[in-house]
């Protein structure tokens, strides 16, 4: 998967999180590796 696709997926994910919770993730939030892999393979 190209890096810009991954970055776009993570940005869309952050937007969805913000809409769902009304807050941003903390600046130091890091996805767990298995979460990232699931996101990439989905």
Ranges of each domain in the chain: 3-41
Are the CB atoms for 6 and 38 separated by under 8 Å?
Answer: no
Q: If residue 32 lies in a helix (H) or strand (E), which one and from where to where?
A: none
pLDDT of residue 10: 83
Q: How many CB atoms are located within 10 Å of the residue 36 CB?
A: 14
Q: Would you give the DSSP letter of residue 23?
A: S
Where the chain has pLDDT below 70, the residues are: 1, 25-29, 31-32, 35-37, 39, 41-42
pTM tops 0.85, yes or no: no
């Amino acid at each position: 998967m190209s890096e810009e696709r991954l970055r776009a997926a993570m940005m869309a994910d952050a937007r969805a999180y913000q809409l769902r919770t009304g807050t941003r993730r903390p600046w130091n939030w890091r996805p767990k590796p298995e979460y990232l892999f699931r996101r990439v393979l989905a």
